[in-house]
Structure 1
Amino acid sequence: MSVRLSAVDWAPGGIEPADTVEIARLLKEHKCDVIDVSSGQTVPHQEPRYGRLYQTPFADQVRHEVGMATMAVGNISSWMDVNTIVAAGRADLCMIARAHLFDPYWTRHAAYMLGYQLDWPNQYKSVARYTPRFEFHFGGE
């Protein structure tokens, strides 16, 4: 079972990271397997502090203080971000949202940049050998 928690409301009197750790402990006791750690979007007067990977510290905190698997979310846009988060042990999984909305083939493009050849769905077999005429840049190269 997975559960999505908002780690902080970004508003006075709201949920704080310490509250989220306690909630995650209770969920772990009830056999929750992984926590998707998000933040905000709970009250209209929130004042979030956006930035690169801005929600990753919350996933990191739950992962290490509770000892359970977490998913990091929030402004994760490149495969390098994902590798950094997972390799550093800050989260077990990363969720890509807005980058996938911008580019529905984000996963395929990232795999291409890393030298992986993915199988094509039958509907796209005719373009499987197509060589892109432009470079994809996802925060690197």
Structure 2
Amino acid sequence: MCEYCNQTSVTVERMDPDEESVCEWISDDGLESCDRPAVYSVLEWYVEDHLCDTHLEQVKRHLDEGLAEFLESVGFGSQYELHSIHQEESCDYISPASAQSWQPCGKRAGHAKYTLENLCLCAEHFAEMGYDSSAPAKS
């Protein structure tokens, strides 16, 4: 585990009843989604990937080429920070070309892709994902 894996942080707010958002939960297989009204907004920072130098450059290139803007335009927006790491980790990057085998790179990783994700969730999926429902109301 790298030094950033311990720095996961979650901020939860109960959404204002006047805000009209739909639950953004999607099943792991991507076949199911939820259309109930969202009740909670969850902001979560976490390490998404550990990257070797080669895959760090590839990720930067994808982001520079507009991948982040495209993902945001179709509802998968996130913010990223790329940090150097000192603790030994293996590169988690899975090349789209090898997606059928789902084999990560495995080389020594020197970087962590730290991701901020924002999800709006209904009460059921909020609880199912293990978040604390004692969130303060949005003011």
TM-score (norm 1): 0.25
Determine which structure has more spread, i.e. the larger CA radius of gyration. Answer: 1
- Normalized per residue, which structure has more strand? 2
Higher relative contact order (CA 8 A, sep 6+): 2
- Normalized per residue, which structure has more helix? 1
